[in-house]
Amino acid sequence: MRVVITGGGGFLGSHLCDALLRRGDRVVCLDDFSTGEPGNVGHLRGHPRFQLIRADVTTGFDVAGPVDAVAHLASPASPPDYHRLSLETLAVGSKGTENALRLAVAHRARFVLASTSEVYGDPAAHPQREEYWGNVNPIGPRSVYDEAKRFAEALTVAYRRRMRADVGIVRIFNTYGPRMRPNDGRVVSTFIRQALDGQPLTLYGDGSQTRSFCYVDDLIRGIVAMIDADLLGPFNLGNPREQTVRELAELVREATGSDSGLEFLPLPVDDPTRRRPVIERAREQLGWSPRVPIDEGLRHTVAWFTSGSVARRAATEPNLGMSVGR
C-alpha cells in the first residue's frame, strides 16, 4: 500500500510511519511541524519508501501518484498547544479533514480519522462506550479541540453517506511513549520531566481523577488494523485499565527512581473526572487489545526521556505547563 499520513511528524504519526514501513508499505508523511518534530522522522530520511512533504493540510494539498489509504492524524493534541493554536485547531478539524477526505475520494482510497476520547467531554456515563454521545461544553476552554474532532467525525460520516467514501473512525484515549515532547504539557511527559529534574510532581485537584493510559506501540497496532479494515466504527482505542492520576505519579516516581514530592493545584475548568474506554467493539471487530503493561511502558518512555537527544530538545523547547486531562 501507499499510505498518506497527515501529521506524520507528530508523536503518533511518526510511530505510524515506522509501523507501515516495517511491514513493507510506502509512506507519504505530511506535516507543517507546527507541533510535530522533524527529528521524529529524521531517521527515515533517505528511506526508499518514505516521502516527506511539508504542508499545511488546511490550505489544500495534493499528492502525486497512487494513494491507497489516508490516515488523518494532523491536529494539535495537547491542551497547551490547542489553547495556543485555537483557530488552527478548528481549521485542521474542519478544512484539514475535508482536504484529506477529498484526497481519499479522488484516489478511491481508504480514509481513517484519528479522533479522540475528548469527544466524550467530561463524561456523564462511565465507562465510555462508542454509543455515548458525550458531555461537551461547546464554549468552554477545551472546546476548540473537542468540537473540532466532533465536527471531523460528522464530516467523515457525511462523506460516507454522500460520496460513498471508504472511511473509518478511531477514538484515541490517553497514549504515552517515546517521542512525546518533554514540555508538551501532557501528564505523563510532565511527570517524567519533573521527576527526572527533581521537581515536585504537579497534580490538579486531589489527584483522584482517573485516566487510562495506552502505550504507543499498542495504539499504533489499532490504527494499522483500522487502515486494513473496511469498517466505519467508531472504535475506542485505549487501555481499559483505569487508574488515578496520583497512582500514575507514584508509578513515575518508581520508574525514574525519584524522590520528588507532590504539589497540588486547583483543577482546570471542564477537566474530565473519569475516563476509561470500553473496547469490546475493537476486540471483536478489529481483533485488537492493548498488551503492554504500564510499568513496562513507563520504563521504555523514561529510557527515551533520559537519552541525550531528548535532553537537548527539552532545553530548547518552551515549557507549556501541564494539563492533567491529557
Provide the annotated active-site residues: 145
As a whole number of angstroms, the distance between CA 222 and CA 236 comes to 9
- Between the CA of residue 77 and those of 174, 178, 249, 287, what are the distances in Å? 11, 16, 22, 27
> Any bridge partners for residue 310, and if so which?
none
Cell of 14: 511518526
Cell of 218: 499498542
Asked whether the bond before 127 is cis by omega within 30 degrees of 0, the reply is yes
Are 324 and 278 spatial neighbours (Cβ–Cβ below 8 Å)?
no
Which residue blocks in 52-202 are alpha helix, DSSP H?
79-84, 86-91, 97-107, 143-163, 187-196
Cell of 98: 475535508
Cell of 220: 499504533
38: left (phi over 0), alpha (psi -120 to 50) or beta: alpha
Q: Tally the residues of the chain.
A: 326
As a whole number of angstroms, the distance between CA 52 and CA 44 comes to 9
As a whole number of angstroms, the distance between CA 133 and CA 161 comes to 20
Cell of 70: 489516508
Per the listing, cell 460528522 goes with 154
Instruction: Give which of 171, 278, 159 is closest to 233, Cα–Cα.
Output: 171
CA 107 to chain centre: 26
